[in-house]
Amino acid sequence: DIQMTQSPSSLSASVGDRVTITCQASQNISNYLNWYQQKPGEAPKLLIHDASNLETGVPSRFGGRGSGTDFAFTIRSLQPEDIGTYYCHQYNNLPPTFGQGTRLEIK
Amino acid sequence: QVQLVEAGGGVVQPGGSLRLSCAASGFTFSYYGMHWVRQAPGKGLEWVAFIRYDESNKYYADSVRGRFTISRDNSKNTLYLQMNSLRVEDTAVYYCAKISGPGRDYYYMDVWGKGTTVTVSS
C-alpha cells in the first residue's frame, strides 16, 4: 500500500495568514493526489483534484501543487470558515489511501 | 443537485451483521462507480470498498475482505454494504461517495454522503 505522510498534524494560524500543508507519498503517484476538507461533524469535501485543479465552486484562496511523491496544499489568506481537518488522498494505486490529516485552528 | 444519503447504521454486538444503504439522487447513478469510506471515532479516513458502475469489478480493503460485501441496485439508485462478522474495530462513521467521471473502472471520490454510524459493542 502507498503510505501518505502528511504534515503538520495540527496547525494554528491567524486570519489572513498563508498556510501550507505538505504530503509525501511512499512511491511515485504522478499527479493522482487530491485534497479534502472536513469540518467538524461533516463529511469530507473535495477541494483540489489531480494535485492542482480547483474543484468547481471552491474559493480561489485554496491551491495545490506537486507531482511524483511531494505535494503541497496552500490557503493564501486564511479565513475563519477554513477551520477543520484537511486530508491528502492518493488514487494512483489500489487501495486508495489518505494522509493522517492536518487539524487547522484559528489563533 | 447530487445527493447521497446513507442509512442502516446502529449498534450491534461483535460477530453480528448490518446492511448499510446509500440512496443516490441528482445524477445518473448507473454511470458511476461508488466507494465506501469509514472514519473511526477521532481518527482519519479509511477506504473500505469500491464497486464499478456496472458491478463488474469490486475491490476491498484487506481489513474487511471476506467479511464485507459491496453491491448496488441501479434500478433503485442504491448502493449497499453488507457487513458480517463485525468487530469492535469496525466501529466508525461509514460514508458512501461517488467517483468523478462516468464509466470509469476506478477513480477518486468527489461527492460524499453525510454518513451513518456503526457501533460494534457488547
Contact list in A for residue B96 (CB cut-off 8 A) is none
Closest CB to B45 among A44, A55, A91: A44
- Over residues B78-85, the mean pLDDT reads 98
Between CA A58 and CA A31 the distance in angstroms is 19
Closest CB to B47 among A32, A95, A100: A95
pLDDT at A70 (0 to 100): 98
Whether B108 and A101 lie within 8 Å, measured CB to CB = no
pLDDT at B81 (0 to 100): 98
DSSP secondary structure, B65-114, as one string: BTTEEEEEETTTTEEEEEE-S--GGG-EEEEEEEESSTT-SS--EEEE--
Contact list in A for residue B62 (CB cut-off 8 A) is 95
pLDDT at B52 (0 to 100): 96
Express as a percent the part of chain A with pLDDT over 90.
Answer: 97
Contact list in A for residue B106 (CB cut-off 8 A) is 91, 94
Between CA A72 and CA B87 the distance in angstroms is 36
pLDDT digits (tens, 9 = 90+) for B11-60: 999 999 999 999 999 999 999 999 999 999 999 999 999 999 999 999 99
Alpha helix stretches (DSSP H) within B15-57: none
Interface test with chain A among B1, B35, B45, by most A beta carbons within 10 Å:
B45
B39 to chain A: nearest residue by CA? A43
Q: Mean pLDDT in chain A?
A: 97
Between CA A86 and CA A58 the distance in angstroms is 14
Whether A91 and B108 lie within 8 Å, measured CB to CB = yes
Whether B113 and A43 lie within 8 Å, measured CB to CB = yes
Q: What does the block give as the cell for A94? A: 489500489
Give the dihedral sign, CA A19/A48/B3/B45: negative
Closest CB to B112 among A34, A43, A101: A43
Instruction: Specify the amino acid at residue B67.
Output: R
Q: Is the N-terminal amide bond of B41 cis, ω within 30° of 0?
A: no
Would the pLDDT of B105 be above 90?
no
- Over residues A88-99, the mean pLDDT reads 96
pLDDT level of residue B104 (50, 70, 90 thresholds): confident
Whether B108 and A34 lie within 8 Å, measured CB to CB = yes
Size (chain A), residues: 107
Would the pLDDT of B103 be above 90?
no
Between CA A99 and CA B97 the distance in angstroms is 18
Question: Mind telling me how many Å the CA of B34 is from chain A's nearest CA?
Answer: 13
pLDDT at B106 (0 to 100): 81
pLDDT digits (tens, 9 = 90+) for A36-79: 999 998 999 999 999 999 999 999 999 999 999 999 999 999 99
Contact list in A for residue B105 (CB cut-off 8 A) is none
